[in-house]
Amino acid sequence: MLHWNKSISLISKSATSRFRARTSSRLQGFRSNAALESLTKAREERTQNVVLYNYPSFSGAFSALFSHLFHRHLNLPCLILPFSSVEPFRVEDLCIDGLEKCYFLDFLGPKGFAAELSRRTSCQVIGFDHRKTTLSDIHLYENGNSNLSLKVNLEKNSSAAAYDYFCAKLSEMKRDNGVRIDGNSNLSDIVAKELSMKSKAAGLRPIGAVIYLQGKNLKMCLRSSDSCTDTSAIAKAYGGGGTPSSSSFIIRMDEYNQWISGTFSQGN
């Protein structure tokens, strides 16, 4: 399980209520001036991720909470808004330059809404629902658009499906967040320093790690952009050395696999 799963499991009803209050109380009327102002700001800042959740719905609120945790963990800008059929948003409200993903949580929007949004913005639309009526009308939502990913599961609540989705995405990003530079070890210093800064920006330890083949051995290079972080302590534990901000060590493939597995186990 991911390392923030414990936080999720401890969410109380009061915490959920506070979350719902923060995201909806100031947006009363749904397509209100406050909501439109938030969208205007997102348009100015070219926000890449927008989340719309079904309101009023506990499943929608929990799905939005999981989305919030996912984007916060990765330090990704994200606008989360309640969506009600009483006074729904219009497609033009969500036409944001640079919009990459729009999530529909616990609903798929009015018929044709998601397809039109995806067509006009070229963004990826990802929707979750669990209702039989939605499944029977799914062809009316998809409209043959490859940018639409609509997940309708009658056997799983939308919030559970959203939770599984964001957990899987976070694990996938952890696995694929490396950079291959085999055959060009001169890049190791530059790449490791860049990774160190990205790690710090994400709220993690400010250490960048790059591994490459040196002869028949694997060489691990560690760099840090933080003067308070000592990478050499890690390198010395594996028989290497260096300075606090720049160190390295040789590691066998079996040791490397064990090291990576241990790192992810602790992170999860």
pLDDT in tens, 96-145: 998 999 999 999 888 888 888 888 888 999 999 998 877 777 766 666 66
pLDDT in tens, 59-106: 999 999 999 989 988 888 999 999 988 888 999 999 999 899 999 999
**CA dihedral of residues 128, 132, 136, 142 (deg, nearest 10):** -10
pLDDT in tens, 46-72: 999 999 999 989 899 999 999 998 998
pLDDT of res. 176: 55
Q: Where does the pLDDT of residue 199 fall: very low under 50, low under 70, confident under 90, or very high at 90 and above? A: confident
Specify the residue for token string 């529909």.
Answer: 104
| CATH number belonging to domain 178-267 | 3.10.310.30
DSSP 92-112: GGG--TT--EEEEESB--STT
Q: Which residue has the higher pLDDT, 26 or 230?
A: 230
Output the six-digit token pair for 44: 């100015």
Q: Where does the pLDDT of residue 5 fall: very low under 50, low under 70, confident under 90, or very high at 90 and above? A: very low
What is the three-class DSSP state of 176? coil
pLDDT in tens, 7-40: 444 444 455 555 555 544 443 446 778 888 999 9
pLDDT of res. 252: 79
Output the six-digit token pair for 135: 């499944």
pLDDT in tens, 172-196: 776 555 555 544 555 677 778 888 8
Mean local confidence (pLDDT), 216-221: 82
* Amino acid in the structure at residue 26: R
pLDDT of res. 263: 53
List Cβ neighbours of 196 (8 Å cut-off, separation of 6 or more).
206, 207, 208, 223, 224, 225, 226
The model's pTM: 0.57
What is the three-class DSSP state of 145? coil
What is the percent of the chain with per-residue pLDDT over 70, rounded to a whole number?
Answer: 77
* Of 217, 208, 207, 206, residue with least CA distance to 182: 217
Provide the H-helix boundaries in the chain. Answer: 5-9, 13-24, 33-44, 58-73, 113-121, 132-136, 138-142, 158-175, 188-201, 232-237, 253-267
Classify the C-alpha dihedral 107-113-114-117 as positive or negative: negative
pLDDT of res. 6: 42
The whole-angstrom separation of Cα 169 and Cα 88 is: 29
pLDDT of res. 232: 92
CA distances from 142 to 93, 110, 130 (A): 20, 12, 16
pLDDT of res. 10: 40
User: Domain map of the chain by residue range?
Assistant: 5-174, 178-267
Q: Which range among 8-12, 224-228, 246-250 shows the weakest confidence by mean pLDDT? A: 8-12
Is the pLDDT confidence value at 253 over 80? Answer: no
CA distances from 209 to 144, 179, 248, 249, 266 (A): 43, 10, 9, 11, 17
Mean local confidence (pLDDT), 152-156: 89
Q: Which residue has the higher pLDDT, 214 or 228?
A: 228
3.30.450, 1.10.10, 4.10.940, 3.40.50: CATH of 5-174: 3.40.50
pLDDT of res. 125: 92
